[in-house]
Structure 1
């Protein structure tokens, strides 16, 4: 059952209080998704919205922002909607599916005790489970990753979303946190739509083996990129991309 978790700068409902605290620190304190050159009314795509912490952060900084927030896990999507209602946020549209290179229905591995780690790439989470067991013991790892469920979730291409919204003239900020499927989200953009995107920030992990491909793709589309190892764990990387002048 979701519980209300209160922080210094916001509050939100979450299935896991510990995970909510981790996400809050990542977004509000470490400001890992901070972009300096956004307009006062940015249009933002949030791929992997989870419980909505990023939307809460961005709307505090840019009250006039318009956000499309994508979250495919049904229970997490429900909490996302609940958090948007809790803060009476306008200009945020939550959509119950994920973004990918092709429109399809796929199996999502959902972790009810650690929903932010739910993934379309479950083989990578086996490595995280083993690391957690090595550091904290098997019982603790099982508590976090146990009870995994296989759920059918809908995926859509970002270009199809753009085509269905003729008022889209730009994407000021594309934020991606999709647990191993980052490259797939980017591959869902047609060549004709790449020019609409001004800034991208995404998280990736060495185990996904896609960091090099992501960097090469972004460079080929005219972005200047910065890649830094994440503060919270070795092997995780934050890639920031912005249009070169």
Structure 2
């Protein structure tokens, strides 16, 4: 059951307080997604919204922002909706979908003790479990990853979603945190929508084996790339891409 967690700058419902505090620190304190240079009323895509902390962060900084938030895990999506209601937030369209290179249905592996790690690529989580077991006690790692469940979730191409919402003229910020499916999300954009994207920030893991392809794709679309390795684990990267004007 979701519990209310209080932070210095906001509050939210969460299934895992420890995970929520970790994500809050990343977003609100460490500012891993730098949105300081956005226009006053940006249009933002939140791919892998989880319980909504990034959307709350954007609306805190830019009250006039419009956001489309995607979260395929049913339980996380419900908590996301509760958090938007908790803060009376408007102009955030929450969709119970994942993003991919093509529309369809996939199995999502859901971790109730660590919902932000839920994924359609569970093979990577086996390696993450091994890493967690090295960094922590074996029992603690098992607790976080045990009792996994599988759900059928709907996936959609981002361009298909955007084509049904033609009122925007630019995509100021595309945030992607999708547990191994980052390249698939990017491949779901058509050229006409790529031309509207100004900034992309995503998290990826070397074990996924797609970092070079991600960076190559972003470079080919006219972005300048910066990367920074996460301080909390080797091989995790934040990739920031900005449009060359």
With structure 2 as the length reference, what TM-score do the two structures score?
0.98
Structure 2 unmatched ranges of 5 or more: none
**In structure 2, what is the Cα distance between the partners aligned to 1:212 and 1:24?**
28
Partner of 2:146: 146
Partner of 1:220: 220
Matches within 5 A, 1:111-126: 111-126=111-126
**In structure 2, what is the Cα distance between the partners aligned to 1:36 and 1:71?**
24
Matches within 5 A, 1:80-119: 80-119=80-119
Count of aligned residue pairs for this structure pair = 245
Is 1:13 matched with 2:13? yes
Matches within 5 A, 1:1-245: 1-245=1-245
Residue by residue, what CA displacement relative to the aligned partner does 1:173-217 show, whole Å, maximum 9, x if unpaired?
000000000000000001222101011000000111111000000
**In structure 2, what is the Cα distance between the partners aligned to 1:49 and 1:24?**
13
**In structure 2, what is the Cα distance between the partners aligned to 1:106 and 1:194?**
25
Structure 1 unmatched ranges of 5 or more: none
Moved more, 133-142 or 233-242: 133-142
SS at match of 1:51: coil
Residue by residue, what CA displacement relative to the aligned partner does 1:196-243 show, whole Å, maximum 9, x if unpaired?
101100000011111100000000000011011112221110000111
Deviation at 1:142, TM superposition (A): 1.2
Runs of 4+ in 1 over 4 A off after TM superposition: none
SS at match of 2:218: helix
With structure 1 as the length reference, what TM-score do the two structures score?
0.98
**In structure 1, what is the Cα distance between the partners aligned to 2:120 and 2:177?**
12
RMSD between superposed Cα atoms in Å: 0.8
